[in-house]
Amino acid sequence: MTNLTDSRKQLAAYIELLRVGADFGLTAQIRTANPGEDPCRPELVVELAGPDAPLLTERDGELLHAIEHIAAKILRLEPEEHHRIFFDANGFRTRRDAELKRLATSAVLEVRTTSTAYVFPPMMSRERRLLHLELASSGLKTASSGEHFHRSVVLYPDDVNPPAG
């Protein structure tokens, strides 16, 4: 996203299309985030609310994720840049991110205590990325395992190297 003002306008037009064209009862607040020193933090945050916001968070936020993915395509973001935007509905993603961070902390303790690998449940790529970043500070190794909708993060003890590939 070279121009945040243009990106905000494109996102606003996209949300208006969802609101009017798809007849979603949604309001949106688009704000510029300050990623500061962390290049992995979003630059634009879209907070969705309204009577249809609960539809976006059903099935672990599947529709919210899809809307965010389409927004990334509209902004012509490469897959490794999708983290530059963040869509949330009624605080769902913010709560989910906090839950993943707590899960990561528990998994590190369990791996260190038992010396066995911990396999997280399958999750979307954005959540796996967040886990990998969160777990990096533990010094333990991580890898993604599985395919498509069955892909999950595995946290390995100190003395185990993740399989190659």
Q: What is the pLDDT of residues 37-89, one digit of tens each?
A: 565 677 888 999 999 999 999 988 889 999 999 999 999 988 878 878 889 99
Quick one: pLDDT band at residue 161, thresholds 50, 70, 90?
confident
Reply yes or no on domain 4-90 having CATH 3.10.129.10.
no
Token pair of 118 as six digits:
């911990």
3-class secondary-structure state, position 51: coil
> What's the whole-number mean pLDDT along residues 15-23?
89
Q: CATH 3.30.300.20 spans which residues of the chain?
A: 4-90
- Does the pLDDT at position 130 exceed 70? yes
CA 99 – CA 164 distance, rounded (Å):
29
Q: CATH 3.30.1370.50 spans which residues of the chain?
A: 98-156
User: 């009862």: which residue's tokens?
Assistant: 25
Token pair of 105 as six digits:
């902390």
pLDDT for 149 equals 77
pLDDT for 142 equals 93
CATH superfamily of 98-156: R3H-like domain (3.30.1370.50)
In this structure, which amino acid lies at residue 80? E
Backbone CA torsion sign across 8, 76, 122, 160:
negative
- Are 86 and 46 contacting, i.e. CB atoms less than 8 angstroms apart? yes
CA 28 – CA 80 distance, rounded (Å):
25
Quick one: pLDDT band at residue 14, thresholds 50, 70, 90?
very high
Token pair of 147 as six digits:
């395919």
> What's the whole-number mean pLDDT along residues 89-97?
91
- Does the pLDDT at position 36 exceed 70? no
Percent over 70 (pLDDT), the chain: 93
Backbone conformation region of residue 59, classed left if phi is above 0, alpha if psi is from -120 to 50, else beta: left
User: Residue 142 phi/psi, 5° resolution?
Assistant: -130, 160
Q: How far is CA 49 from the centre of its chain?
A: 18
pTM: 0.77
The burial class, CB within 10 Å (0-12 / 13-18 / 19+), for 121 is: exposed
- Does the pLDDT at position 143 exceed 70? yes
